[in-house]
Amino acid sequence: MRSEPRRESRTMAALALTALAFAGSGAGGAAAEDGKPGRNVLVVTLDGLRWQEMLSGFDAGLNSEEDGGVASPDALAHRFDAPTPEARRAALLPFLWTTVAREGQILGDPSKRSVVRVTNGKLFSYPGYSEILTGVADPRIDSNAKETNPNVNVLEWLSGRPGFEGRVAAFASWDVFPFILAAERSGLTVNASGPAVADPKTDRERLLNEFTADLPAYWAGARFDAATMQGALEHLRARRPRVLYVALDETDEWAHERRYDLYLDAAHRADRFVQRLWEVAQSLPTHRGQTALVVATDHGRGEGARDWTDHGEKVPAAERIWVAVMGPDTPALGVRSGVDATQSQIAASIGRLLGEDFRAGVPEAAAPLPGITR
């Protein structure tokens, strides 16, 4: 449900990776003073990443020029194919499957009688992100228009709780997020599109902004995920937020263009970004051993060769999604069995992982995901 992209040279992928590698090198910026002890949470969304790839990895049925836009099927298979679904998903998303699945939980594997559903009925981005963050499927949210969300989101609510003031932030690749998160009303720090660092204070931050500005404007209203993640990493190192949300976008963009190779590559890089975020958090005395991680998606996609690129009301398969959770209070249950859940349960789950009751402030929000805390 995005605008049609401008067709630029495909060297933008190399440029994005160059920016990521260059900005990620060297010493970090000045760190904030240690905050008071307390739980923290990192939330990451991968836009439109299907449960099929999340749970089973590479799909050989889409590895062709006709169905997946793949010019070199052998090369793609060499990177991500394997004999079993378990091996394929670990090749595609190694951090999620070697660390998060081992130390935390994955919900949404139909082979384990576990399904996570979108309940807003729209099955595209703004309604999905609103449901994730507010715990409510609001029928008034029926487009991707830049209109302020009337519902209180969990980041907004947490920012008003003792110990969280000024320590909640969001970084996104899509420029609709200031409206999804009601940034003007809530006062949240929301960096979406544009410069990766809004108020650069170090040479490192200024260099990161220069590289971000030099990347091609390939999609209207969205920047490359590398810039978003590097901005989030800088914010985490320097300001040590207790709640940090990162919304990555490229998986959805490449899927809409029927580029299965670039869709998988975006997912693989997103997994690496999540690992870096986690490792930086564990390197900070304020966050080491005190931080939870939630990874999810805003909607699914079609199941077949013709409609895997799409989602929305006319693609009912897009109702199915997945959620991953890991943290000091989360039992290491791996891939959960026999659990049905909804996207609307993620908001209260974020609160619970912090020891906060979001439903006390927003009673209409759905209950937290079952079994994610001891």
Q: What is residue 32's predicted lDDT score, i.e. its pLDDT?
A: 33
Q: What is the rounded CA–CA span in Å between residue 28 and residue 2?
A: 35
For residue 172, how many other CB atoms are within 10 A of its CB? Answer: 28
Whole-number pLDDT of residue 11: 38
Q: What is the mean pLDDT of residues 23-48?
A: 61
Q: pLDDT (tens digit, 9 = 90+) per residue, 150-205?
A: 999 999 999 999 999 999 999 999 999 999 999 999 999 999 978 999 989 999 99
**pLDDT of amino acid 38:** 74
| Backbone φ and ψ of 252, nearest 5° | -70, -40
Strand partners, 44: 246, 295
What's the topology of domain 40-361? Alkaline Phosphatase, subunit A (3.40.720)
Mean pLDDT value across residues 332-344: 98
- Tell me the per-residue pLDDT of 202-223, one tens digit each, with 9 for 90 and over: 999 999 999 999 998 899 999 9
- Residue-level pLDDT at 27: 35
Query: How many other C-beta atoms are found inside a 10 Å radius of the C-beta of residue 21?
Result: 12
Domain parsing of the chain, residue ranges: 40-361
Sheet containing 320-321: order of strands:
320-321, 115-117, 340-342
Q: Residue 129: CB partners within 8 Å, gap ≥ 6? A: 45, 177, 180, 247, 298
The whole model's pTM is what?
0.91
- Element of type H or E holding 46: strand 40-46
What pLDDT is recorded for position 270? 98
Binned at pLDDT 50, 70 and 90, residue 2 comes out as: low
